């Protein structure tokens, strides 16, 4: 009768040892996995994750530049520019005269702001067009308005936090502007609602950088809606 070699017997014993997993290891493994699952479940229930909605935002200076454009289209009407580039004018100063030779009348156009004059000549599309632009010397105060899409707007209300990313200032370098909603105008303009925002620290960003106020700044606003527990978001409940 053939007999198994010592090598074969040894291999069988090793395989038996390797293949055998003690019951306590199995029990502790299941217990550990269950414990980790409970911890993750608890964390998902405790952690709140804010729902957000994105919309275009415009920051406009309270005092806007004065602008007037003209071009000669009537032989009886002539224009006389009363200022030059770089000149400082006061509010109410005449910057342009329109003279009508047939009716013997003249019309004076006056700046509405105190500022520095810039005279712009026509472009390729409108060569004859000229523009007088008076940039305010002092720019203070601003209006912040969000163009909110109708879809999802029912969740937006006064007091909600807003983070603003400006197109001209990357957030990784300059940070966000932070504010909150002050009012919601429930009237549709071009399929959008207007939402007014107040900045908490003016034009100082979350990275403590002061941005210069310009006549108009464009960007994207993230409105922080009511916070919802991560657990409910995972299982799809609202």
Main-chain phi, psi angles of 6, to 5 degrees: -65, -30
- The pLDDT of residue 35 is 72
Decide: helix, strand or coil at residue 35.
helix
Q: By percentage, how much of the chain surpasses pLDDT 70?
A: 75
Question: Is residue 19 very low, low, confident or very high in pLDDT (cuts 50, 70, 90)?
Answer: low
> In angstroms, rounded to a whole number, what is the distance separating the alpha carbons of residues 188 and 149?
9
- The pLDDT of residue 227 is 56
- The pLDDT of residue 32 is 72
Question: Is residue 139 very low, low, confident or very high in pLDDT (cuts 50, 70, 90)?
Answer: confident
- The pLDDT of residue 212 is 87
> In angstroms, rounded to a whole number, what is the distance separating the alpha carbons of residues 67 and 71?
14
Kindly report the three-state secondary structure assignment for every residue of 110-173.
ECCCCEEEEEECCCCCCCCCEEEEEEECCCCCEEEEEEEECCCHHHCCCCCEEEEEECCCCHHH
pLDDT, tens digit (0-9, with 9 covering 90-100), for 165-209? 999 999 999 999 999 999 988 788 778 899 999 999 999 999 999
Main-chain phi, psi angles of 119, to 5 degrees: -105, 125
Lowest mean pLDDT among 26-35, 93-102, 121-130: 26-35
Cβ neighbours for 20, distance < 8 A, ≥ 6 positions apart: none
- The pLDDT of residue 174 is 95
- C-alpha distance from residue 54 to each of 149, 173, 179, 197, 225 (Å): 9, 21, 14, 14, 11
DSSP character for 41? Answer: H
> In angstroms, rounded to a whole number, what is the distance separating the alpha carbons of residues 160 and 93?
44
Residue in the block written with tokens 């069988």? 12
- C-alpha distance from residue 92 to each of 70, 89, 111 (Å): 19, 8, 5
- The pLDDT of residue 225 is 82
Cβ neighbours for 205, distance < 8 A, ≥ 6 positions apart: 169, 174, 175, 176, 177, 211
- Residue 231 confidence (pLDDT) above 50: no
Determine the average pLDDT of the residues in 87-116.
Answer: 94
- Residue 88 confidence (pLDDT) above 90: yes
Question: Is residue 237 very low, low, confident or very high in pLDDT (cuts 50, 70, 90)?
Answer: very low
Q: Output 65 or 232, whichever has higher pLDDT.
A: 65
- Residue 46 confidence (pLDDT) above 70: no
- Residue 1 confidence (pLDDT) above 50: no
- The pLDDT of residue 178 is 96
């Amino acid at each position: 009768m053939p007999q198994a070699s010592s090598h074969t017997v040894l291999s069988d014993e090793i395989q038996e040892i390797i293949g055998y997993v003690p019951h306590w290891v199995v029990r502790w493994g299941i217990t550990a996995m269950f414990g980790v699952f409970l911890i993750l479940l608890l964390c998902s229930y405790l952690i709140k994750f804010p729902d957000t909605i994105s919309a275009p935002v415009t920051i406009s200076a309270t005092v806007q530049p004065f602008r007037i454009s003209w071009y000669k289209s009537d032989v009886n009407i002539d224009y006389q520019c009363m200022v030059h580039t770089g000149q400082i004018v006061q509010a109410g100063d005449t910057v342009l005269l329109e003279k009508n030779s047939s009716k013997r009348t003249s019309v004076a156009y006056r700046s509405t702001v105190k500022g520095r004059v810039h005279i712009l000549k026509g472009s390729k599309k409108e060569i004859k067009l000229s523009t007088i632009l008076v940039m305010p010397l002092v720019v203070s105060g601003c209006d912040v308005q969000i163009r909110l899409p109708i879809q999802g707007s029912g969740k937006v209300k006064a007091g909600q936090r807003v983070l603003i990313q400006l197109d001209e200032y990357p957030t990784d370098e300059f940070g966000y502007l932070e504010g909150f909603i002050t009012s919601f105008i429930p009237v549709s303009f071009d399929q959008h609602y207007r939402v007014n925002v107040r900045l908490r620290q003016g034009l100082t960003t979350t990275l403590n950088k002061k941005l210069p106020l310009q006549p108009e700044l464009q960007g994207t606003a993230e409105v922080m809606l009511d916070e919802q527990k991560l657990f409910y978001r995972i299982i799809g409940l609202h």
